[in-house]
A = this chain, B = another copy of it.
Amino acid sequence: MPRTALTRDDVLDAAAALVRQLGPEALTMRKLAAELGTAVTSIYWHVGNRESLLDELVARTVREMGAIAPSGRSPVDRVLSIARAQRRMLRDRPHLIAMVHERGLTELMFLPAQQALVHELHDAGLRGARAAEALRAIEFHVIGFVLVERNRERSPAQSPAEQDLWDTATAGHDPALARALAAPPDPERLFTTTTRALVGSLLCV
């Protein structure tokens, strides 16, 4: 018997810590029970089963995801600030965000940020279908960028590193290109550049 009665929140907190650090595949009911000092089956009484435990962690993540305050002078700058804030939030909770995504709750999670975006799009003079398309373009871009970024970070050492792939021969007599591709991309800079390019194009045409 544990020192104090085991609560549902005890289980959720321990599970969240595990998932946040090591990902959902590291969460086994037996490990969790060992960490909590209870029998495996006690956990089932509190949270049903493994799947609904993960569901609850996802619900928490959606709830925690707060509103976003845009900053900057022009609509483009403010959209950019929202995109940057979204990127940071996504990067901070990679495993949990992936689980939110798998469960189809991404839209709900992003609703506050999207409403802020709509405000900026309206300010920039975009309305109706045009605003809707711009909104989705930005959303796809931000989420997609972070997904690619994370995939790159998680990857084991690239078997043929980009340096080796892009020697001067394959780069088509452009040694400066080969040099630029030899260094790993700076995601911060790349995100700003591409987001600005996309948003600028969407808002000004």
Contacts and interface: CB of A to CB of B under 8 A. Distances in A.
Interface of A: 101-108, 111, 115, 118-119, 122, 127-129, 131-133, 135-137, 139-141, 143-149, 151-152, 154-160, 162, 165, 170-172, 174, 176-177, 179-181, 185, 190, 193-194, 197-198, 200-202, 205
A119 B155 contact: no
A106 B147 CA distance: 13
Contact of A145 (B118, B140, B159, B162): B140
Contacts of A201: 197-198, 200-201
Lowest 8 A-B CB distances belong to which pairs?
Answer: A144-B144, A128-B176, A104-B155, A132-B180, A197-B201, A147-B147, A129-B180, A201-B201
Contacts of A198: 194, 197-198, 201
Given A133-B180, A137-B194, A140-B144, A158 B115 contact: no
A27 B176 CA distance: 45
Quickly give the copy total for this chain.
Answer: 2
A199 to B, nearest CB: 9
Given A129-B176, A151-B101, A174-B131, A108 B159 contact: yes
Nearest to A143: B148
A179 B157 CA distance: 46
A172 B108 contact: no
A104 B157 contact: yes
A82 B154 CA distance: 27
A103 B140 contact: no
A106 B127 CA distance: 38
